[in-house]
Amino acid sequence: MNYYKLMEADDLPNTLIPEFPSTSAIWSAAEPLFLKGTVRNEKEYINFLSFYRSGILSKAFLVSAETWEIWREFQDGGRCRPCAFGHLGTRQVKPYYLAMPKIMDALHEETVYQRDGNIETVCLSKEKVGANQVFAVKGSTQMELLLSEDILEEMLRGNLTSFYYEQVETRGK
């Protein structure tokens, strides 16, 4: 099976950028969660992405409701929390999910690391991945989100295209 690393399409014009809360605020708060976003120009069309990577503090991914509908069928383990995400000034708010897929020790020894300990080139061990289709692997400060080819195809068929992807290497049987 082929696997792909998912990346934000943060170069789209006027992309809504989320302000992520801390990890404890995400998973411990009992009240409904609203994530505020910022844009460069409130008067132009606002691009909501299908997928956002959080910073170092949150260690979660923000995914659109449409993306989550696909992922939840195939994800084994992990956690999620529904939330609202939007821009108050323009009153544009959409349903999203804060998701933390299963974090796996699935990297092959041929994975290449940067000097800071983050992953430069992902190489997965097929034995360690097993049948998992949505999961994350961890570098020193960033997590990489990985999807099987089946999940990626479902997302593309669902016209979820505001992200980039690149195939990762796999080793083993």
- Per residue in 13-32, pLDDT (tens digit) is 889 999 998 888 888 888 88
Sign of the torsion angle spanned by Cα atoms 107, 142, 102, 85: negative
Which residues constitute the domain of residue 122?
A: 3-171
pLDDT value at residue 37: 95
Query: Measured between alpha carbons, how far is 19 from 35 in angstroms, rounded to an integer?
Result: 6
pLDDT value at residue 58: 59
Give the containing element (helix H, strand E) for 98.
strand 92-100
pLDDT value at residue 25: 86
pLDDT value at residue 142: 78
- Rounded to 5 degrees, φ, ψ at 21 are -80, 175
Which of the residues in the chain have pLDDT under 70?
A: 55-58, 140
Query: Measured between alpha carbons, how far is 153 from 160 in angstroms, rounded to an integer?
Result: 10
pLDDT value at residue 140: 62
- Give the number of domains in the chain: 1
